[in-house]
């Protein structure tokens, strides 16, 4: 399954347009010199070989397929020149003109229409800002958790090079700067349920967080923080959850010095693809009033009640609305 990769069309700049105009002009001048020195043209009015500017006029109307017929080739060599030289030049000129027109107008409108059609279907979706190593790991985990690919949008500034791998996983990928409101509006940020911020730079993460929080105060916002001193900045910007990869990685490394298999078990717990995995759910009706120790098939680690959390040993029984964080085995 392949997703859709949308990139803003790279419009040719003024220098490129001028280069193409110069290329066409040089072709036209070259054809003019060929038909002028070949000498097989006749002007239907005067019956003589046309002058240089008349040959320029003939080359222009012939290449543009107008062909008024007032200047015509009258011998075999002139007709061969017209067939062998002018016909390929005619195709080259038209391809250059149409190619430029396509880049300047048609491709832009086509890409915008395709992108708007895909985004129009999004609702309560997940927006992933950043497609580096951390972003790709988060994307794969979302897909393992069962998130529908068409409900994930990946934003990155690296264009096709940074988004091709994500697009191959079936998600919608858009090239754009997530710090800009216009780009966030293009991915329906106001309807997003979750926003994951992993641009690889803390200053960019703070700016994205501030912009998203202003545009969608109800979305759950999770940000990656590279430096510990920037955690407070992301908290003030409005991030609900902050992930510090260096802290998590350091904890796993330190764990290997105490127990040989502890790090492997922790890594297994972190991924849905592992045999054991961490989950979270609300207490079911039949579990109200029951001790978390006796619940079957799960090992409860912590219970959240309102804004507070409790360890299992400190909570004799469960109440309605409690949220369980537990370890469960992956179903075979």
Give pLDDT, residue 203: 92
Task: Please list, in sequence order, all residues whose beta carbon lies within 8 angstroms of the beta carbon of residue 166, skipping any fewer than 6 positions away.
Answer: 3, 131, 135, 136, 139, 154, 156, 173
Residue 286: pLDDT over 60: yes
Report the candidate in 241, 135, 127, 240 with the shortest Cα–Cα distance to residue 192. 127
Residue 310: φ, ψ to 5°: -130, 140
Report the candidate in 123, 129, 139 with the shortest Cα–Cα distance to residue 208. 129
Helix (H, G, I), strand (E, B) or coil at 96: helix
Give 216 or 248, the one with higher predicted confidence: 216
Q: What is the pLDDT of residues 215-244, one digit of tens each?
A: 999 999 999 988 888 889 999 999 998 888
Give pLDDT, residue 211: 94
Residue 275: pLDDT over 80: no
Instruction: Assign 88 a pLDDT band (cuts: 50, 70, 90).
Output: confident
Task: With residue 302 as reference, give the H or E element that holds it.
Answer: strand 298-305
Residues 127 and 194: beta-carbon distance below 8 Å: yes
Residue 206: pLDDT over 80: yes
| Entry pTM | 0.59
The Cα angle at residue 321 between residues 318 and 324, in degrees rounded to 5 = 60
Residues 184 and 192: beta-carbon distance below 8 Å: no
Instruction: Assign 112 a pLDDT band (cuts: 50, 70, 90).
Output: low
Give pLDDT, residue 162: 65
Instruction: Assign 2 a pLDDT band (cuts: 50, 70, 90).
Output: very low
Give pLDDT, residue 3: 44
């Amino acid at each position: 399954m392949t997703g859709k990769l949308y990139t803003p069309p790279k419009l040719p700049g003024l220098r490129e347009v001028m280069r193409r105009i110069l290329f066409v002009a040089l072709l036209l001048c070259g054809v003019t010199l060929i038909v002028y020195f070949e000498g097989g043209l006749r002007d239907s009015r005067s019956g003589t070989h046309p002058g240089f500017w008349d040959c320029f006029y003939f080359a222009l109307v012939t290449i543009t397929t107008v062909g008024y017929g007032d200047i015509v080739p009258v011998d075999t060599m002139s007709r061969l020149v017209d067939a062998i030289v002018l016909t390929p030049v005619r195709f080259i000129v038209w391809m250059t003109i149409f190619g430029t027109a396509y880049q300047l107008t048609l491709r832009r409108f086509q890409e915008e229409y395709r992108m708007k059609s895909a985004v129009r279907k999004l609702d309560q979706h997940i927006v992933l800002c950043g497609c580096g190593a951390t972003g790709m790991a988060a994307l794969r985990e979302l897909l393992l958790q069962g998130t529908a690919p068409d409900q994930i949008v990946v934003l990155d500034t690296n264009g096709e090079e940074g988004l091709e791998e994500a697009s191959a996983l079936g998600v919608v990928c858009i090239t754009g700067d997530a710090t800009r409101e216009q780009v966030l509006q293009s991915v329906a940020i106001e309807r997003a349920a979750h926003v994951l911020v992993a641009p690889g730079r803390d200053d960019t993460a703070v700016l994205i967080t501030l912009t998203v929080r202003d545009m969608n105060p109800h979305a759950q916002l999770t940000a990656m923080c590279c430096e510990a001193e920037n955690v407070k900045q992301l908290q003030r910007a409005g991030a609900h959850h902050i992930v510090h990869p260096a802290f998590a990685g350091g904890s796993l490394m330190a764990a290997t010095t105490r127990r040989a298999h502890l790090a492997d078990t922790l890594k297994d717990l972190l991924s849905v693809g592992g045999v054991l995995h961490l989950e979270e759910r609300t207490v079911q009706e039949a579990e109200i009033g029951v001790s978390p120790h006796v619940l079957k098939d799960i090992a409860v680690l912590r219970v959240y009640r309102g804004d507070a959390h409790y360890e299992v040993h400190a909570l004799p029984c469960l109440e309605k609305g409690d949220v369980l964080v537990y370890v469960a085995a992956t179903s075979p």
